[in-house]
């Protein structure tokens, strides 16, 4: 067998090995989706967000490097954005109309900000760059949206704004030269 052919096979084996390793993230993406479903979130929306989160997680893990290392913090921070709105709903808050804007939206934004601060801190501690920050932010956003959909589109947008607002200052403060 030619060495080039062997090298090609070895490369394919390497990529398949990375794919197989990336599949281990599946339960960690399914878990928040299951929690959201148990708390009464619409199945179609949760399925769509879960599929997107799974695709992003696996792509980042297969890619590796800083992007790959952002998956864990992103999913963990996603819990911070996911749980508060779900707890609000479980506590009996009926999120519609003005009452939703008065309580649901701020909770989603605060949860997003908490999630963003967590992402900022972890990215700083690990010395990650923009790829790490974006990867973790997208995953936290997708996971958090499963819960913040309780406040509709504004709830999700508020949460995303919170993630950006919570993580950006931490990153800016830690820029080299400061």
Binding site for other proteins (CB under 8 A): 1, 3, 6-7, 9-11, 13-14, 16-18, 20-21, 62-65, 68
- Cβ proximity to other proteins: between 69 and 89 the closer is 69
Alpha carbon 37 to its chain centroid, in Å, reads: 17
* Contact partners, residue 160, CB within 8 Å, separation at least 6: 112, 141, 145
- CB 18, min distance to other proteins, A: 5
- Cβ proximity to other proteins: between 20 and 153 the closer is 20
- Cβ proximity to other proteins: between 68 and 137 the closer is 68
Q: What angle do CA 118, 141, 149 make, to 5 degrees?
A: 125
Q: Give phi and psi for 129, each to the nearest 5.
A: -105, -155
- CB 19, min distance to other proteins, A: 9
- CB 129, min distance to other proteins, A: 14
Q: What angle do CA 109, 124, 131 make, to 5 degrees?
A: 80
The two most distant CA atoms of the chain are separated, in Å, by: 72
d(CA 161, CA 87): 20
- Cβ proximity to other proteins: between 37 and 59 the closer is 59
d(CA 140, CA 78): 4
Answer yes or no: are the C-beta atoms of 163 and 140 closer than 8 Å.
Answer: yes
- Cβ proximity to other proteins: between 2 and 98 the closer is 2
- CB 167, min distance to other proteins, A: 23
């Amino acid at each position: 067998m030619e060495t080039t052919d062997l090298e090609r096979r070895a490369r394919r084996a390497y990529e398949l090995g990375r794919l197989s390793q990336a599949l281990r993230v599946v339960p960690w993406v399914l878990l928040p989706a299951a929690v959201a479903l148990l708390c009464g979130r619409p199945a179609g929306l949760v399925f769509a967000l879960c599929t997107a989160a799974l695709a992003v997680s696996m792509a980042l893990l297969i890619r590796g490097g800083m992007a790959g290392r952002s998956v864990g913090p992103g999913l963990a921070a996603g819990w911070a954005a996911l749980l508060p709105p779900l707890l609000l709903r479980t506590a009996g808050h009926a999120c519609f109309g003005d009452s939703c804007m008065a309580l649901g939206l701020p909770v989603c934004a605060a949860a997003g900000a908490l999630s963003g601060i967590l992402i900022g801190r972890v990215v700083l501690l690990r010395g990650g760059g923009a790829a790490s920050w974006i990867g973790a932010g997208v995953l936290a956003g997708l996971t958090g949206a499963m819960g913040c959909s309780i406040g509709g589109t504004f709830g999700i947008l508020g949460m995303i704004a919170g993630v950006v607002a919570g993580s950006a200052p931490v990153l800016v403060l830690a820029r080299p030269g400061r």
